[in-house]
Structure 1
Amino acid sequence: MPKPQVRPKKYNRGSPAWIVTFADLATLLLTFFILMLSFAEMDVEKYRAMANSMTMALGGTPAFSVIPSDVSGARPVSVIATEPAPPSASAQIPELIDERAEGDAPTRIPAGVIDLASALIRELETEVASGSLSVNYDQEQVIIRFAEEAAFRSGEAQIKPEMIPILERVVQVLGSCTGDVLVAGYTDDRPIASGRYRSNWDLSAARAVSVVHELVLNRDVPAARVVAAGRAETNPLVPNDSPENRARNRRVEIAIRNPECDDTMPTGSLPVEIMP
């Protein structure tokens, strides 16, 4: 019986006709998107906000900075949201005169600090007596501390109308003195429930910026001297274990560092020594 003939297999060594068109189209699309990317501009602030959101979602601590335009049209005002200070850095936080322990050796206070603190207490005597604000000082700075209930409504960053004249009087005093001005906003430890502010960091920074706008609005205080900082629930004055303590921790502070005042400013009668 004769063997059947086996036909050799035919192999198609060429590519399909459609693959050339597809490869050409893919190359053109890749070139198009690369060209679009080269013309794109990155929004730095949105990138930082996205990065901070990812950091917080993963259990980290946010640290971002924003530099808005100065309302006076002059120089920009820096806005810094800081991260919580580690426990080892607590010794670097200045202690105020009303928080120092008794019995230690006295420390000499510079004349500029005494003059500025005296002028502020004299100008804001009524508000200090009512408890809506306080004036404290140490050997490096003078701090004006505004209570939240006196300056802002709960969960808002707009200054109450009755606080504007008080800030104008503060500006009059600061206009006669030099020194860097740090405006810091603080909250308690409860998370904020607001559609406008993502967290206590946003709220505290927005409140600090509102105060800065009033300080530099008429240019009596140069914008280059002023920095606004959002501190959220960090550095509480007292433990957040009661409604009264939380209300005390919700505040805005204006710190004037290393002030030097004009000779025309009345000299103060504050003690020239405080406890270190």
Structure 2
Amino acid sequence: MSKKTRHEEHEEHADESWLLPYSDLMTLLVALFLVMYAMSATDAKKFEEMSQAFSSALNGGTGILDQRSATPTKSQLDQGKNDKMDSVVAKNTGESELVKLRKQEQEDLGKLKKQFDQYIDKNGLSDLLSTKLNQSQLMITISDNALFASGQAEVKDDSRQLAKSISTMLQQFPDYEVLVQGHTDNIPISNSSYSSNWDLSVDRALHFMKILLLNPNLNPVKFSPIGYGEYHPIAPNTTAAGRAKNRRVEVSILRKYQEATNTTTVAPSGK
């Protein structure tokens, strides 16, 4: 009896029924990957759609399918190249247009300077007026003797025509910013009207600007009066001739299209 029992124990085998569903699962996986491979080789768009569907079904995880869909397609690469080229073309076009505007502005301001110079020569005012064109502005410098009595800011009656003539020439450029700047020498002022050279220089700039703006073709928004007092001389104040040069009014037409190395700040002529 004991021998038979031992024999039966020797004949027992482990249960291998789990191999059937495992083999079925592996077969399904192989079939799935074969289908996906075939689709990727024939229709990239459908493969990408299926990739997105699988990603959504699996909580949006990033896997092999996502990695393929993240790879730029040829059309995307071509579009990127086109965008870069469009940007370069636009930049070059903008720079070319700016160069043209600067060139045109230089020509226009040069013509205006020539008109001022001709007016100065025709009226024998070369000792009282001068012009200067640089990279930031066209400046007309007027000696105080041509406009004011000593220590006063009211423009003399016989000098008002000068201001009107300047305003007529300025109206050719109504869109330009114009600064009217007053300057004095360093001799302290002592009269009942002004307590300092600051006050006198500001008031002179303001009075002269008001006469310019009697011209209805000029836009007051574009004009600004500034007083520098004695602090921006163009000549030494140690001589009478130097002090006479420092007492002046400057009318500056500011460029709109300056070189990139320049700033919009206009330095006083003495600097």
* Structure 1 length-normalised TM: 0.52
Question: Amino acid of the residue matched to residue 171 of structure 1?
Answer: S
SS at match of 1:124: helix
Structure 1 residues 259 and 111, CA, compared in 2 at 3 Å: closer, same or farther?
farther
Task: Kindly report which structure 2 residues correspond to 1:69-148, keeping only aligned pairs within 5 A, or say none.
Answer: 110-127=106-123, 129-148=125-144
Q: Which residue number in structure 1 is paired with residue 209 of structure 2?
A: 212
Of the structure 1 ranges 211-220 and 121-130, higher mean CA displacement relative to structure 2 is found in 121-130
- After TM superposition, the structure 1 = structure 2 runs for residues 7-86 of structure 1, keeping only pairs within 5 Å, are none
Seen in structure 2, the aligned counterparts of structure 1 residues 207 and 129 have a Cα distance that, compared at 3 Å, is closer
Higher helix share: 2
Q: What is the rounded CA distance, in whole Å, between the counterparts of 2:249 and 2:202 in structure 1?
A: 10
Is 1:198 matched with 2:207?
Answer: no
- With 212-221 and 192-201 compared, the bigger mean Cα shift is at 212-221
Structure of greater Rg: 2
SS in 2 for 1:193: coil
Taking the aligned partners of 2:153 and 2:162, their CA distance within structure 1 comes to 17
Over aligned residues, Cα RMSD in angstroms? 1.9
Q: Which has the higher strand share?
A: 1
Asked if the contact 2:168–2:215 (Cα under 8 Å) also holds between the matched residues in 1, the reply is no
CA distance in 1, matches of 2:124, 2:221: 28
**Which one has more relative contact order, counting CA pairs under 8 Å at least 6 apart?**
1
Partner Cα distance (2:142, 2:123) in 1: 10
1:186 aligns with 2:183: yes
Pairs aligned (count): 153
1:116-141 alpha-carbon deviations (Å, 9 max, x no partner) = 21122223323464412111111221
Selected match of 1:232 from 214, 229, 232 = 229
Residue of structure 2 equivalent to 1:18? none
Kept in 2: contact 1:113–1:139 (CA 8 A): no
Among the aligned pairs, what percent are the same residue?
Answer: 31
The alignment status of 1:165 with 2:161, answered yes or no, reads: yes
Q: Once the two structures are superposed, what CA deviation does each residue of 1:176-196 show, in whole Å capped at 9, x if it has no partner?
A: 113110000000011100111
String of CA shifts for 1:26-65, please: whole Å, max 9, x gaps. xxxxxxxxxxxxxxxxxxxxxxxxxxxxxxxxxxxxxxxx
Displacement of 1:110 in angstroms is 1.9
Partner SS for 1:203: helix
Partner amino acid, structure 2, of 1:132:
L
**Displacement of 1:112 after TM fit?**
2.7
1:75-134 Cα deviation digits (max 9, x unpaired): xxxxxxxxxxxxxxxxxxxxxxxxxxxxxxxxx882232122112222332346441211
Cα separation, 1, equivalents of 2:125 and 2:196? 33
* Structure 1 Cα separation of the partners of residues 187 and 123 of structure 2: 28
* Structure 1 residue 171 displacement after superposition: 1.0
Q: Which residue of 1 aligns with 2:170?
A: 174
8 Å Cα contact 1:128-1:134 kept in structure 2: no
